[in-house]
């Protein structure tokens, strides 16, 4: 992959998942400045958020897969991101997701996006049974992983501290 525009685009009933653009940064930075990001390594100041945002974009080119921005199919609004996190120091690809604001909670948006990302990663990127690495205090993400059919797969030590590992069911590529 030589450009972000080479990344696949995923569509669901309500959402379009597309690769990141520069214009997505403000929503990402606002999320990472908020207490909502505490179980995802945050909060970050704007400069730290930039490194994280740019690194995630760079992963698409380095690995050929990464995070999609979740956008509302009607309004185009950026709701969050879902996709594969796999830096050099992570033992295997991780399926991750984050929803930027609480106004989108309780409508099944995160689940719709996470399933699309899981299936898209299998179909387009050959990642068929990823793990999700979740902080023990992140009850909302743990509940979503379980609703998606992932099962607990132990605990592991990350550079950011200990995390629970969930294993997703194998999806045909």
Partner 1 sequence: MTPTLTTDRLTLRPPKASDHAAYAAFFADPEASHFYGGPLLPYQAWERLSADVGHFALKGFGRFVIERDGAPVGGCGILDVAGWPGHELTWWLLPAARGQGNAQEASRAVLAWAGDALGWRQVETHFRDENLAARRLTESLGGVKQRREIFPDGHARDIYAIPTRAEVTA
Does residue 96 interact with partner 1 by CB under 8 A?
no
Residue 56 lies near partner 1 (rule: CB under 8 A)? yes
Could you give the CA distance from residue 19 to residue 167 in angstroms, rounded to a whole number? 25
Which pair of structure tokens corresponds to residue 110?
């995160």
Looking at beta carbons, which pairs linking 156-163 to residues 24 or more positions away fall under 8 Å?
Answer: 156/91, 158/90, 158/133, 159/89, 160/41, 161/135, 162/136, 163/133, 163/134, 163/135, 163/136
**Direct distance between the N- and C-terminal alpha carbons of the chain, in angstroms, rounded to an integer:** 19
Cβ proximity to partner 1: between 2 and 103 the closer is 2
Stretch of 70-78, 85-93, 117-125, 140-148 contacting partner 1, by CB under 8 A? 85-93
Pairing of β 94-99 and β 67-72: unpaired
Kindly tell me which residue out of 10, 17, 18, 20 binds partner 1, with binding defined by CB under 8 A: 20
Q: By CB under 8 A, tell whether 107 contacts partner 1.
A: no
Q: Which is nearer to partner 1, 87 or 152 (CB)?
A: 87
Of 55, 77, 169, 173, the residue at the interface with partner 1 (CB under 8 A) is 55
Asked, as a colleague might, if the bond just before 43 is cis with ω within 30 of 0, I would say: yes
Exactly one of 30, 52, 72, 167 binds partner 1 (CB under 8 A); that residue is 52
- Which residue from 54, 136, 143, 173 is in contact with partner 1, where contact means CB under 8 A? 54
Which residues of the chain form contacts with partner 1 (CB under 8 A)? 2-4, 20-22, 25, 29, 45-62, 87-89, 159
């Amino acid at each position: 992959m030589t450009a972000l525009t080479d990344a696949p685009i995923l569509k669901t009933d309500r959402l379009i998942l597309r690769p990141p653009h520069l214009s997505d940064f403000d929503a990402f930075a606002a999320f990472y400045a908020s207490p909502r990001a505490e179980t995802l390594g945050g909060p970050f100041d704007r400069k730290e958020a930039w490194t994280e945002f740019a690194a995630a974009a760079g992963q698409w080119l380095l690995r050929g897969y990464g995070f999609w921005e979740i956008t509302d199919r009607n309004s185009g609004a950026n709701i969050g991101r879902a996709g594969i996190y796999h830096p050099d120091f992570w033992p295997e690809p991780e399926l991750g997701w984050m929803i930027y604001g609480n106004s989108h909670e309780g409508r099944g948006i995160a689940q719709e996006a996470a399933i699309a990302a899981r299936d898209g990663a299998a179909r387009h990127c050959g990642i068929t049974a990823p793990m999700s690495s979740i902080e023990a205090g992140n009850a909302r993400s743990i509940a979503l992983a379980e609703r998606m059919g992932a099962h607990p797969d132990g605990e592991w030590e990350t550079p950011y501290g200990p995390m629970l590992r969930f294993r997703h069911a194998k999806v045909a590529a």
